[in-house]
Amino acid sequence: MKLKNSILPAILLFGAAALSSCEKNERESVAPAFEQGKISHVLADSAEVRSYNFAGSQISKINHYNPTSGELETYEQYARDNKGKVVKVSTFLGNSNTLLTEQQFIYDQKGDLEQSNTAYYTSGTLEYTSFAKFSYSDHKLKSKSVYEGTDKDSTSSRLKSYYEYEVLPNGNYSQEKQFVIDATGTPKLYSTTTYSYDSHENPFHEFAEPGTISSPNNLISYATLVHSTNKTYTTNYAFKYDDQGKVSTMTTKGAKGKSETLTFRYGS
């Protein structure tokens, strides 16, 4: 599950959806080039759910598979500048290579993300555009504003929501507040989410997509308070580690009590 909510939990930056093996010719076409010691596969119930391609030490492609058929469902390709920064992420349908989304990233002179532009496609036709603006302090994300439309057309662009973040001295994100803009243009606090971590290294931290609030340690729980209903939703994560201190399994337990265990494999 590639989480598309307001935060990508630190251990799940590249998520997982349950899969089984796909046919040999499909597997060979997306065979990952593994990097020693780096994350290479995520499995659920012994089935591969995601694999990672590397160019040197940097992520170049992520493959997502259908949980029932094992076929390649979608994949993301990463383009970088001469400094190694991600400048574009393109998502394609696995069976037809049809473009689904394209994100472009713009950085300021300090190297912090300044803006992202996203285009959404249906059957190869542009359907929707959005963009986000980012503010950083000491290279840590402090706020994000999300707009629909394009920044090149002020008459069609509209602020939809914005987020504010708090960061601990060790670099872990401790809190997120989400504000939504109502029909009158007034921002209203929608939710407050708090995060708790263990002391182990997050294996996905160095591969964080631009604009995500990746933390250096593994997320063990988060609680989201929805202010309109005064209800709190909690998700917990339990980890097991190998002899080298790397995550070997992670069990997720959500608000409804449903649990899932993922297994992590690393290049050798």
Distance in angstroms (rounded) separating the CA atoms of residues 116 and 70:
32
> Which has more pLDDT, 77 or 206?
77
**Domain contains 1:** no
**Domain contains 252:** yes
**Domain contains 37:** yes
**Domain contains 201:** yes
pTM of the predicted protein model: 0.82
CATH number at residue 203: 2.40.128.720
> Which has more pLDDT, 2 or 118?
118
**Domain contains 4:** no
**Domain contains 235:** yes
**Domain contains 5:** no
The pLDDT value given to residue 256: 74
The pLDDT value given to residue 267: 83
Average pLDDT over residues 64-90: 91
What is the extent of the structural domain holding 132? 10-266
Mean pLDDT of the chain: 85
Evaluated on CA atoms 235, 240, 246, 248, the torsion sign reads: negative
Going by DSSP bridges, is the β-strand pair 247-253/231-241 parallel, antiparallel, or unpaired? Answer: antiparallel
pLDDT digits (tens, 9 = 90+) for 136-164: 999 999 999 999 988 776 667 899 999 99
Distance in angstroms (rounded) separating the CA atoms of residues 54 and 266:
12
pLDDT digits (tens, 9 = 90+) for 19-65: 223 333 333 333 434 455 788 888 887 788 899 999 988 999 999 98
Query: Percentage of the chain surpassing pLDDT 90?
Result: 64
Two structure tokens written together for 183: 């029909």
**Domain contains 241:** yes
Overall domain count for the chain: 1
**Confidence category of residue 204, pLDDT binned at 50, 70, 90:** confident
The pLDDT value given to residue 16: 33
Query: Does the pLDDT of residue 113 top 70, yes or no?
Result: yes
Q: Burial code of 191-227, b = ≥16 C-beta within 10 A, e = fewer? A: bbbbbebbebebbbbebbbbbbbbbebbbbbbebbee
Average pLDDT over residues 229-255: 92
